[in-house]
């Protein structure tokens, strides 16, 4: 069970941005158990952190069920090797957008899995269910019959020893029953939710529009009927604990002890869960994808502008017009075209370099995973794996400095750059944790190494000298600020060329640093420049 409190949405949820606390450990449960066999790759934790994936997910998440929420998260962390599932099913999104009533009926059905307990379905796909030996199953079956046998012997033959044996059999069964309790506790939450998922899938699979998502769902549902029957006692337990009186619960417990219903049901359920894992996953993916398609339809309705990404022609690798970040208030749209060469940005702090790099990364991510881009137009050669090193920090637990963390992250990028896949490398202020001379030298060498025909490198720096060294390999752009009347202002617009103007000391000056300090700084610059 989650430790967080969630605010449930009404059944008529209309796809608005959610106001709830997100438990990402629970949300990521399906991501952790998915094999990602068909994916180009999955985003690293560092890349997720650098792109602000958690915040982006909370913004894009318009799902109606917890299963859909887990599935959408998995989609957004997984770069598809070919066309993503969202793009493949774009026709369903268009139908949702055009048919309000039909979309609402799907959302209503998905909403039956909105309770936080529905998070517990995903772990069923990865849990190692304990094996049940045939010998132990035989012992339980024999013990389940003994109380009935001794009771009949006493009632019909008046055998006093049979009464004593009846008491002993009930006590033994009580011990077996309560020893099994801890095994079944995890299923008391998950099994009722699993049954709800099967019910919802049965209804949605009957919809001609959604039936096209997976032709295997009806077969999977049919094969899971045995699991539905075997788990009845576990589902009864859950309902009794929540809804019925203690007296009725006690009577039910006595019956279950007498016939050993719960241990037998648990053993059969555990065995079936292992055997039916593939069928459960088929149904889970069906529900998750249907909800994710619904979520994308809702998301697009609320955006000021969006587009479907296009595959470019010729040497164009990335081309974006009117591109913005949905989480940046009053974000200034920008345009960029990346063809045969990578890109290097220069500019001062707060000028917009890092935000633009993150905006580019976010758009390339959602273009591939959600078939949606926050722009007027985006053309992108897909698939492309994303690697970021934008917000590195010291690791006190590992005893590693900022510079060592950066060295390790970039070392991984160097390795990825030699793969056969297309990679996007996003770097901010490369090697800023070391001295100027070695920083520029090492950065130039690394950026030249990464800049192969398969890779796209987007990097920012304060070092204008770096742009000079890379002018033949990289397209140069810059962001700049203006100072007028002692006021500092930014337009956050991307401009062509390297930045040669320096304003850092001027910014200190307008912020009332002592005049002697400012003059001292300028004198050092004059000495350095000769």
Does residue 168 register a pLDDT over 50? yes
Q: Hey, what CATH class is 318-499 in?
A: alpha beta
Per cent of the chain over pLDDT 90 is: 48
* Separation between Cα atoms, residue 142 and residue 163, nearest integer Å: 18
pLDDT at position 246 is: 62
How confident is the prediction for the chain on average, in pLDDT? 85
In 3D, which of 207, 208, 201 has the Cα closest to residue 224?
201
Banded pLDDT at 291 (limits 50, 70, 90): very high
In 3D, which of 242, 299, 286, 296 has the Cα closest to residue 109?
286
Does residue 65 register a pLDDT over 70? yes
Cis peptide before 383 (omega within 30 of 0): yes
Please count the CA atoms within 13 angstroms of the CA of 320 that sit on its side-chain side: 27
Banded pLDDT at 1 (limits 50, 70, 90): very low
In 3D, which of 320, 299, 431 has the Cα closest to residue 375?
320
Q: Looking at per-residue confidence, does 337 or 237 come out higher?
A: 337
pLDDT at position 500 is: 61
Listed by start position, the domains of the chain span: 24-124+286-301, 128-285, 318-499
Q: Looking at per-residue confidence, does 391 or 123 come out higher?
A: 123
Banded pLDDT at 325 (limits 50, 70, 90): very high
* Separation between Cα atoms, residue 337 and residue 321, nearest integer Å: 9
pLDDT at position 185 is: 56
pLDDT at position 7 is: 43
Banded pLDDT at 319 (limits 50, 70, 90): very high
Does residue 6 register a pLDDT over 50? no
Banded pLDDT at 499 (limits 50, 70, 90): low
pLDDT-wise least confident of 39-48, 360-369, 478-487:
478-487
Report CA Rg, the chain: 31
pLDDT at position 3 is: 38
- Contacts of 14-21 spanning 24+ positions with Cβ under 8 A: 14/298, 15/62, 15/107, 15/294, 15/295, 15/297, 15/298, 15/299, 15/301, 15/302, 16/62, 16/298, 16/302, 17/58, 17/59, 17/62, 17/302, 18/58, 18/61, 18/62
* Separation between Cα atoms, residue 274 and residue 280, nearest integer Å: 10
- Exposure b/e, 169-207, CB count within 10 A at least 16 = b: bbeebeebbeebeeebeebbbbbbbbbbbbebbeebbee
* 406-420 average pLDDT score: 90
Alpha-carbon dihedral of residues 482, 484, 486, 489, nearest 10 degrees? Answer: -40
For 383-396, how does the pLDDT look when each residue is reduced to its tens digit (9 = 90+)?
999 999 987 664 55
pLDDT at position 189 is: 77
pLDDT-wise least confident of 163-172, 183-192, 208-217:
183-192
Does residue 10 register a pLDDT over 60? no
Q: Looking at per-residue confidence, does 290 or 431 come out higher?
A: 290
């Amino acid at each position: 069970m989650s430790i967080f409190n969630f605010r449930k949405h009404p059944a008529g949820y209309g796809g608005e941005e959610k106001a709830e606390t997100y438990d990402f450990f629970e949300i990521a449960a399906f991501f952790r158990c998915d094999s990602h066999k068909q994916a180009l790759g999955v985003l690293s934790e560092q890349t997720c952190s650098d792109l602000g994936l958690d915040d982006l997910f909370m913004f894009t998440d318009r799902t109606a069920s917890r299963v859909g929420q887990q599935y959408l998260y998995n989609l957004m962390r997984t770069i598809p090797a070919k066309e993503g599932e969202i793009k493949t099913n774009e026709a369903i999104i268009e139908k949702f957008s055009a048919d309000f009533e039909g979309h609402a009926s799907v959302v209503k059905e998905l909403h039956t899995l909105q309770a936080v307990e529905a998070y517990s379905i995903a772990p069923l796909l990865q849990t190692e269910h304990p094996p049940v030996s045939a010998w132990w199953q035989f012992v339980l079956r024999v013990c389940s019959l003994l109380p009935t046998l001794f009771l009949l012997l006493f009632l019909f033959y008046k055998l006093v020893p049979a009464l004593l044996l009846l008491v002993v059999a009930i006590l033994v069964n009580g011990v077996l029953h309560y020893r099994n309790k801890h095994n079944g506790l995890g299923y008391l939450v998950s099994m009722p939710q699993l049954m709800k998922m099967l019910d919802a899938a049965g209804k949605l699979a009957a919809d001609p529009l959604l039936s096209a998502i997976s032709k295997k769902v009806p077969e999977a549902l049919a094969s899971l009927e045995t699991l539905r029957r075997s788990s009845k006692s576990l589902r009864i337990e859950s309902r009794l604990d929540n809804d019925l009186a203690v007296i009725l619960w006690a009577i039910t417990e006595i019956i279950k002890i007498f016939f050993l219903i719960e241990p037998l049901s648990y053993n059969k359920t555990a065995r079936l869960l292992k055997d039916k894992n593939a069928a459960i996953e088929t149904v889970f993916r069906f529900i998750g994808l249907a909800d994710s398609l619904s979520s994308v339809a809702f998301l697009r309705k609320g955006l000021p502008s969006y587009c479907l990404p296009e595959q470019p022609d010729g040497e164009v690798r990335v081309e974006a017009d009117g591109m913005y970040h949905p989480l940046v208030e009053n974000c200034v749209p920008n345009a960029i075209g990346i063809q045969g060469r990578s890109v290097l940005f220069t500019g001062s702090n707060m000028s917009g370099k890092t935000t633009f790099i993150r905006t580019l990364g976010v758009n390339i991510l959602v273009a591939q995973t959600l078939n949606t881009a926050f722009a007027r137009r985006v053309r992108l050669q897909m698939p492309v794996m994303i690697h970021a090193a934008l917000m590195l920090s010291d690791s006190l637990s590992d005893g590693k400095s900022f510079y060592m963390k950066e060295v390790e992250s970039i070392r991984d990028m160097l390795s990825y750059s030699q793969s056969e896949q297309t990679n996007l490398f996003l770097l901010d202020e490369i090697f800023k944790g070391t001295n100027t001379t070695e920083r520029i030298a090492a950065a130039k060498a690394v950026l030249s190494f990464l800049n192969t025909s398969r890779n796209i490198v987007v990097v920012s720096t304060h070092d204008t000298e770096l742009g000079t060294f890379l002018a033949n390999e990289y397209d140069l752009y810059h962001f700049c600020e203006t100072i007028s009347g002692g006021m500092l202002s930014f337009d956050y617009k991307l401009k062509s060329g390297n930045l040669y103007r320096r304003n850092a000391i001027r910014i200190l000056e307008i912020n009332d640093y002592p005049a002697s300090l400012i003059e001292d700084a300028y004198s050092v610059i004059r000495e350095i420049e000769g």
